[in-house]
Chains A and B, each alone.
Chain A
Amino acid sequence: MMASRDDSTGLTVRELRVVFDTSRGPIFAVDGVALDVAPGEVMGLVGESGSGKSVSLRAVARLLHANARVTGSVRWRGQELLSLSDDQMLPIRGAQIGIIFQEPMAALNPVLPIGLQIEESLIAHTTMDKAQRQARALQLLDQVGIASGATRLAQFPHEFSGGMRQRAMIAIALAASPALLLADEPTTALDVTIQDQILRLLLRLKDELGMALLLVTHDLGVVAETCTRVAVMYAGRVCETGPTADVFANPHHAYTAALLRAMPGSGPAQAKLIPIPGMAPRLDAPSPGCAFAPRCTVSEPLCTTTRPPFVQEATRSSACYGRARL
């Protein structure tokens, strides 16, 4: 176990494991994740496709389905979420922890008007009457930058553009004023110009509402722009965490270093991008050592046989034997 800090205010995840039982055997999607989100901070969870970042996020909100076995600890304001019943989760989901997804078109119900989809949260979590709920829905649309809200409330998702749908989804997630917003690749499905608008919107709302943000993304640029701290994931494990600026300037894990070398715009303009050799690891048979070792340029024999321990120092922690050689 990592040293425990005061966990009565924010989110503290320890030893989170998610195993999916499939017909072809178990898939170890999340294999021991630890991360903290303090009140009001923006935490980035970054990794490539299949690294377990989205699954981790859904596990935190207890949104995974019956084929997922979730173990470990997810403490929110001092309360262990993984041991709560479904009914006990109801007042937490939406009201304390809000969630937005990658594909607003898929996440919004196609046959219900946007207004009702906002009001549902208010009905579930507040004692507002109909007039109050409608006023609040209008205020929310205004807050997320959707004009002529009164007309918009009666419209259906297919009548919104992509960026507007993402704004509507944010309005729905924020309806009951959660203290933590989990955002699962909120800009990936959008045009680049709109991506930036949505990120700014999220940061503005975070400041206005004083909430914390856990931002899952595969985009290091997004992390650099928005996150105060970052956790880098690979093959279901967290490689390293720390303040974004420190991690980017001086990575402590070979995977983070490789990721940064493969990212455009990280070095001098003429610097060549260096792709990471090899393929994404298999999740059906986790390596006994470091999952990145087969693709790593600084690995040593120990890396393939023994899992590197998480080393914590001041504001950062990492799990890499090759740190001195980076």
Chain B
Amino acid sequence: MNRGAWLLGRLAQIVPSFLLIGVVVFVLARLLPGDPMSAMLGDHASDATIARLNAQLGLDQSIPVQFLAFVEGIFRGELGVSIAYRVPVTQLIAERLPATLILTGLSAVIGIVVAVPLAFIAAMRENQWPDLVIRSVFQVGLSTPIFYVGLLLLTVFAAQLHLFPVGGYGEGWADHLWHLFLPACTLAFSFAAILMRSLRGAILQVLTAEFVDFARAKGLRSRLILGRHVLRNALIATVTLVGLHVGSLLGGAVITESVFAVPGVGRLMVESIFARDYPVIQSLTLVLAVLVSLAFLVTDIVQMWLDPRVGR
């Protein structure tokens, strides 16, 4: 099997997984406790009003008919109308998604930039003080709840030192990045912790491999051995983990956006769940699930690029 065929096969896997995501999302939204009518109209609405709204939103139809309408809508790019905001869900998501994408992207970059060099330092100085300090700090990162880290950063760097805005999203790219820096750091902390631990472990393992000794036997400089022979092999193990972690980054975005009042899809999700805004919850879950499976796809492609044994 050549790599092109492998890649095609991998792309084809996307279809059934998207279908499954659709079913799960649809069923989940209907399993949520409470009903949207009382959330929208209050507890004292008349039966007539409720029936009219039910019919208007298509909620009086049978579940299979509702599902078909849902799938059909996806293919037409129509995800319904938000019950709470009374605007098309696609428009709502298009407005809110960029903030979340920038936030998670920025936190992934921060996490990688911080974790990769520190993982090398920790592995090179295994069980000496730099390793112990780095591991202790990240242990805190792993065990501290995201909202607490967020509040801490907010208090110190925004409220007291006035280095960053307290919340919001700003106007234009530079402003966006400035506004999202603290939330991204918050999100990056646990991500960097997991990345650092995994990469450190992988580096230590690769360092015992015989091809590292053979590279030394060739008379190569240790920096070249680390950069070319060790890093690449260590990354193969770590890339998978990073890909799997994109889901938790998006999950963490829900909390972080709430703490920093970032108008992203994470906050929209929380609001919609409280409002039983079925169309929005459904569509958001769909979009997030699709994003996560795309992240897995990218992970696999990067893996193929790093490891010549994949797909041959």
Contacts and interface: CB of A to CB of B under 8 A. Distances in A.
Interface in A134-190: 156, 158-159, 169, 172-173, 175-176
Contact of B219 (A107, A156, A169, A176): A176
B215 interface: yes
Interface of A: 58, 61, 63, 86, 89-95, 98-99, 101, 103, 106-113, 120-121, 124-125, 156, 158-159, 169, 172-173, 175-176
A94 B214 CA distance: 10
A172 B307 CA distance: 21
Contacts of A175: 218
A112 B214 CA distance: 13
A156 B218 contact: no
B210 interface: yes
Interface stretch (B91-99, B107-115, B228-236, B240-248): B228-236
B17 interface: no
A95 B219 CA distance: 7
B219 A124 contact: yes
A94 B219 contact: yes
Interface in B184-218: 209-211, 213-218
A63 B220 CA distance: 12
Contacts of B229: 109, 112
Contact of A106 (B209, B216, B218, B232): B209
B214 A99 contact: yes
A172 B228 contact: no
A106 B219 contact: no
A156 B309 contact: yes
B306 interface: yes
A147 B218 CA distance: 24
27 contacts: A89-B219, A93-B218, A94-B218, A98-B217, A99-B217, A107-B214, A108-B214, A109-B214, A110-B211, A110-B307, A110-B309, A111-B306, A111-B308, A112-B232, A113-B308, A120-B220, A121-B218, A121-B220, A124-B218, A124-B221, A158-B308, A158-B309, A158-B312, A169-B214, A172-B214, A172-B218, A176-B218
A106 B308 CA distance: 16
Interface in B132-172: none
B210 A106 contact: yes
A36 to B, nearest CB: 21
Given A156-B308, A158-B309, A108 B211 contact: yes
A75 to B, nearest CB: 19
B199 to A, nearest CB: 16
Nearest to A102: B210
A103 B220 CA distance: 20
Given A63-B216, A93-B218, A109-B229, A101 B309 contact: no
B233 A90 contact: no
Contacts of A120: 215, 218, 220, 224
Given A111-B306, A158-B309, A93 B211 contact: no
Interface residues of B, number: 24
B61 interface: no
Give the residue among B220, B232, B233, B307 with the most A Cβ atoms within 10 A: B220
A92 B219 contact: yes
A63 B211 CA distance: 12
Contacts of A98: 217
From B210, B214, B218, B306, residue with most partner A Cβ within 10 Å: B218
B219 A91 contact: yes
Nearest to A62: B216
B276 to A, nearest CB: 51
B44 to A, nearest CB: 67
A89 B232 CA distance: 25
A156 B307 CA distance: 10
A94 B217 CA distance: 6
B219 A125 contact: yes
B54 interface: no
B138 to A, nearest CB: 24
Interface centre among B215, B236, B307 (most CB of A within 10 A): B215
A173 B309 contact: no
B49 interface: no
Given A111-B236, A112-B229, A106 B211 contact: yes
A208 to B, nearest CB: 21
B13 interface: no
Contact of A111 (B213, B215, B233): B233
Contacts of B224: 120
A124 B220 CA distance: 6
Nearest to B308: A156
Interface in B30-60: none
B196 to A, nearest CB: 22
Contact of B214 (A101, A124, A156): A101
Contacts of B308: 110-111, 113, 156, 158
A111 B217 contact: no
A1 B209 CA distance: 36
Nearest to B309: A158
A54 to B, nearest CB: 11
Contact of B233 (A101, A110, A169, A173): A110
Contacts of A156: 308-309
A107 B210 contact: yes
